[in-house]
Chains A and B, each alone.
Chain A
Amino acid sequence: MKLDHLNGGQQLAVKYYTVAISLFVAQIIFGLLSGMQYLYPELLFGMLDFNVTRTVHINAMVVWLLYGFIGSVYWLLEEESETEIVGLKLGQLAFWVLTSAVAVVVLVFLLVQSGPGDDFTRWFVNEGREYIEAPRWADIGIVICMLVFFYNVAATFSKGKWSGISGVLTLDLVALAGIYLAGMFYTPNISVDQYWWWWVIHLWVEATWEVLVGCLMAWGLMKVLKVDRKIVTTWLYIEVALMFGSGILGLGHHYFWIGTPEYWLTIGGFFSALEPIPLVAMVVHAVYDAGARHMKGNNNPALAWLIAHAFGNFFGAGVWGFMHTLPQINLYTHGTQWSASHGHLAFFGAYATIVIAMIYIAVPYMRGQKGLGSNLPDGGWKWKWSLGLLNMGVVGMTVALLISGYEQSFIERAVGGSTWYGYFSAQTHPWFIQGMEWRMIFGLITSVGIVLLVWDLLTIGKGRVAQEREQTQAVA
């Protein structure tokens, strides 16, 4: 595809988006395998065990979302700063370095899988800590590439023009990169290990990532609905205040049971219970703006995914998180399928949706058009069906996992006393297995959705160009 008409940042963004969507597909393939292994434990046993498929499933997710975020920021960078990107070549180099590193890490996960209990394993094979399994050399590579990205963002805005959105975005990237360092050391003490590990995981997904998508949402609403900059900026500041006001100490809800003092039960319970509030603000903001403009934007798929983001973030991160965030209930639900249920809806609702929206914002420009309205030649059935199937699939998986989670927390935790026997009593109970079967069915529905999404992203608007050209020629 010719992309010469795009600005430098946008050309870079297309590269990131391409890898993002490829990894999204990989995430779903390995998710399907992991889900199948619950139902057929002998599937790929001894070859691609659950710990491998699941590790690739969650790491592909983290990385594709990061690629989506970086791509989105590069996409808006030149427009928002009103100047050319300062380090395009450096940015391209960082893209290839990062992508090669990701490819090597995935191959090592799949082919080498594990290693002995020495430093070499942690540096070059697998760190063995959920979500940040990537070996240490890759951590360092990721930090360097993130620094290049940060330099491009900060220096381009400094050269051009700052705005509320770019200010929040840049400071947020400092926090996002800095926090990653908290996960880059070894300690034999599992309590200290998990204390800092949560700084990375929680302060990413429940604080800095949320603010980052707040920036993308603000920019997206201006782009798609022509909302006033003043309004989105004020809302962004409100969201930052509420998000960091609740989310930073909300970290405490991970410090209930890892050996940390009892005061975290109160602090973590209280502040994390407030975490849904900024997400309500986001829904109000997005729905109000969309309603005030009678849902008339210049890009229907992007608008639909922005609305899906607002609700998905609120329900997935907010409601599903709140349901088990108080220590009184978390004592029974911690480390059960409740967490899996929450994880599925939160990551999809809060993050996957907004990245997809940003990609849809980019697509018409990539094809030399101004927008994607309601006049698509095929009625836009592909984006509508993929939107419906992906959302239905993930919501279905979430509910199915929640039912298994309820069963597990009662039978294993409350009744079975959390012994191994209690664990397996819950896992073999028909209610648990039925939940897993339904999860698989909805997982397959999600997969059909992703196939349609990829097909649509590759083709949407293409026919229209031809049609418009023919019409122009006919008139001439």
Chain B
Amino acid sequence: MNNATPWWSSEVFWKKTAIWVTGSMFVVLIILTLDSIPKITAGSERVPAYSVINKHIDYKFNDERNIQVPLIGGEDPLFGKMLSEEEAEALVSYGKKITQGRNCMGCHTLLGNGSYFAPDLTKAWLDPGWSSEEEREEMMIAFLMDPVENARSFGSGRMMPNLHLSRGEAMAVVAFLKWMSSIDTNGFPYNFTVIDKEG
């Protein structure tokens, strides 16, 4: 009787397999990362430049891809002011830093990631809860500056605490949210109803 360990259950075989599998998977991940990063850099097709906040943003069903995709329209400057690419990036970046400093992800999700205690912010700019496109900017500012007074809890009793945002800070957060809504998220969130498109 042969008691020798068959090759497929030997320690050496699996050691080599582990090394080769790990190494090759990591190489594939690096290659995919090198391909993906340019495709999600601001200014790419999927992730628009920060100056997109100067434009009208919509979210439309695309028959070919069978999902909703962002649709960048004509001029529609945020707070009525056209910004250069640099100014737009500075404003969006300031907005993002505020969302990090106030730990918004501790309650909300952004692109679906974060906590589940408050609504997802991916398409917050396009949400029909802001009444109409005309009133949206001011409603968002008022809400962010005093979320307790202007609570939008839809009967849940859950309120956003007052994070003491100044008007300038609230405007930056809105700029960040408007820019984020222009990202092509492969149809997430699904079946979204866009502001001014109800009924």
Contact A260/B39 with A130-B115, A336-B116 known, Cβ cut-off 8 Å: yes
Query: Which residue on A lies nearest to B162, using beta carbons?
Result: A46
Q: Which residues of B contact A119 (CB under 8 A)?
A: 97
Interchain nearest-CB distance for A90 vs B (Å): 30
CA distance A121 to B154 in the complex (A): 32
Contact check, B155 vs A117: say whether CB atoms are below 8 A apart. no
Interchain nearest-CB distance for B135 vs A (Å): 15
Instruction: Give the segment of A6-14, A73-81, A367-375, A424-432 that binds chain B.
Output: A424-432
Contact check, B192 vs A417: say whether CB atoms are below 8 A apart. yes
Contact check, B191 vs A262: say whether CB atoms are below 8 A apart. no
Q: Which residues of B contact A51 (CB under 8 A)?
A: 103-107, 115, 117
CA distance A51 to B155 in the complex (A): 20
Contact check, B101 vs A116: say whether CB atoms are below 8 A apart. yes
Query: Which residue on B lies nearest to A197, using beta carbons?
Result: B113
Cβ of B96 < 8 Å from any Cβ of A? yes
Contact check, B190 vs A331: say whether CB atoms are below 8 A apart. yes
Q: Which of B76-101 contact A (CB under 8 A)?
A: 89, 92-101
Cβ of A158 < 8 Å from any Cβ of B? no
Chain B interface residue count, CB cutoff 8 Å, equals: 84
Contact check, A256 vs B163: say whether CB atoms are below 8 A apart. no
Is chain A's interface secondary structure helix, strand, loop, or mixed overall?
Answer: helix
Q: Which residues of B contact A46 (CB under 8 A)?
A: 161-162
Q: Which residues of B contact A260 (CB under 8 A)?
A: 36, 39-40, 46
CA distance A233 to B192 in the complex (A): 51
Contact check, A241 vs B97: say whether CB atoms are below 8 A apart. no
CA distance A76 to B175 in the complex (A): 53
Over the window 320-356 of chain A, the binary record of Cβ atoms lying under 8 Å from chain B Cβ atoms (1 yes, 0 no) is: 0000000100011011110110000000000000000
Q: Which of A393-438 contact B (CB under 8 A)?
A: 413-415, 417-421, 423-425, 427-428
Over the window 11-38 of chain A, the binary record of Cβ atoms lying under 8 Å from chain B Cβ atoms (1 yes, 0 no) is: 0000000000000000000000000011
A interface, CB within 8 angstroms of B: 37-38, 41-42, 45-46, 49-52, 54-55, 113-119, 121-122, 125-130, 133, 164, 168, 186, 188-195, 197, 230, 233-234, 237-238, 240-241, 244-245, 248-249, 251-252, 254-265, 267, 327, 331-332, 334-337, 339-340, 413-415, 417-421, 423-425, 427-428
Cβ of B28 < 8 Å from any Cβ of A? yes
Q: When the two chains form the complex, which single residue of A113, A256, A414, A424 contacts B188, counting CB atoms closer than 8 Å?
A: A256
Contact A234/B26 with A191-B111, A194-B113 known, Cβ cut-off 8 Å: no
Interchain nearest-CB distance for A337 vs B (Å): 6
Q: Which residues of B contact A245 (CB under 8 A)?
A: 21-22, 25
Q: Which residues of A contact B9 (CB under 8 A)?
A: 234
